[in-house]
Chain A
Amino acid sequence: MTLIADPPETNIVIFSLAPDAPDAAAVVIAARARGVLIVAFGARIGRAVTHLDVTRDECEQAASVLLDCVGDSRDCCVCSRSS
């Protein structure tokens, strides 16, 4: 997946999906099944927004779930921290 603004400047993360990744709607459903809610912002675009009511730990957890759901093999922050 590719970030529209990389690195993010504020609290919004917009990502476009790689050609071999599922559609945004499918990613939304897969993430929801694993406890992470995001929105599709286009057929191949997703959005995640941080805010007052989510913690850093939850964001790390969400990152690892989202990377999994889009089939991206890069390490998530949780993995890189523990290694």
Chain B
Amino acid sequence: MNGQPGRSAYWQMIVHVVNHGSYHRGQVATMLRQLGATPAQSTDMIRVLPRTVSNGEPVVRTRTAMIDLRSDTVTRPTDGMRAAMAAAPVGDDQFGEDPTVNELQARIAALLGKEAALWLPSGTMANQVALRALTRPGDDVIVSRESHAVWHEMGGGGANAGVQFTEIGEGGRFTAREFVTAVKPREHMLYPPTTLVEVENTHNRAGGIVIDQAEAARICAAARERRITSFLDGARLWNAAVASGQTVAELAAPFDVASVALSKGLGAPAGTMLAGPRDVMRDCIRHRRMFGGAMRQVGILAAAGLCCARPPHRAPGGRSRQCEAHRITSPRESARDADCRSARDQHRDLFAGA
């Protein structure tokens, strides 16, 4: 000590190292505060320990004081995801050589019951690429009222695909009859041809409603009869699956092309998958690059997506509701609690071992 040799028992040295660490963490916190930063709320060992000794369990997260209900996109990667990302084998995805991306694409294709799937960096780009690949400029696209494509993609449908939208129905839903009534004919001198119908499930602006699957099947059948392509904007298809008790494959089955997001409620930092026929996905690869969304060693991000896409895909307790939303809105309906499990648990089901 003080530059001089000294002797201590092992236990004393160990206790000293642990104890003295708190002293220096406190100093660092003080310095940070003096510099205007906000350091961790607690520097005590008991707060530090769970972050390093997690035994594979989710690490205790440092909570901010805010309750953040702005979006389910604020979810952060779990420790399992971060570990998977760090360990992911990668390659150049533009040569089709990223094994993690390829595995995720194969798994999502199987999960959605489609021939092939394609990774895209965001849900909006997935929708834009789908629009671009499935329509021609000047075409008419039929969507529900207040759909994401019309309200939240910055006019991309017009700018990137050159399409016009016809919003129909009410409360995020429309019937096959309403769809058929709104269809504009092809090869007619007076009409922009309707070439695409898009269904958003669950529907964001309508309050997260689940689309009736029988009606979706009727809409897609009517579209097919008219050579109109059907697209499922399934950014929150996982939530629809949990609420309806159906698998995402069942929900995607009537549609030619479907999307699912990995960053909404599931904790992955980025990624939406498009799935559909192989030739359509090949075309989407071209448009993805045209939009600047083709990447290289993107397996690091796809690895987080793989954590979301493991079985079981059908959440148990199909009739269950997502309790937290009820907690906000239906304070007196506590009897419903027995019938529903928390959104958190349901999301955990989808993680299945992540």
Contacts and interface: CB of A to CB of B under 8 A. Distances in A.
A-side binding surface: helix, strand, loop or mixed? Answer: mixed
Nearest to B78: A52
A3 to B, nearest CB: 6
Contacts, number: 165
A77 B327 contact: yes
Contacts of A80: 331-332, 334
| Residue with the highest number of chain A CB atoms closer than 10 Å, among B69, B71, B75, B325 | B69
B242 A51 contact: no
A12 B267 CA distance: 17
| Residue with the highest number of chain B CB atoms closer than 10 Å, among A32, A50, A75 | A50
Nearest to B324: A50
B147 to A, nearest CB: 14
Contacts of B239: 10-11
B331 A39 contact: no
A70 to B, nearest CB: 12
A49 B330 contact: no
A55 interface: yes
A24 interface: no
Name the interface size band of chain B: 35 or more
Interface in B40-77: 61, 65-72, 74-76
Contacts of A6: 207, 329
B323 interface: yes
Nearest to B201: A10
B322 A8 contact: yes
Nearest to B331: A77
Contacts of B210: 9-10
Interface stretch (B1-9, B83-91, B250-258, B341-349): B341-349
Given A51-B72, A52-B267, A35 B328 contact: no
A76 B207 CA distance: 20
Interface of A: 3-15, 32, 35-39, 41, 47-56, 58-63, 66, 74-77, 79-81
Interface of B: 61, 65-72, 74-76, 171, 202, 204-210, 236, 239-240, 242-243, 265-267, 321-334, 336, 342-344, 347-348
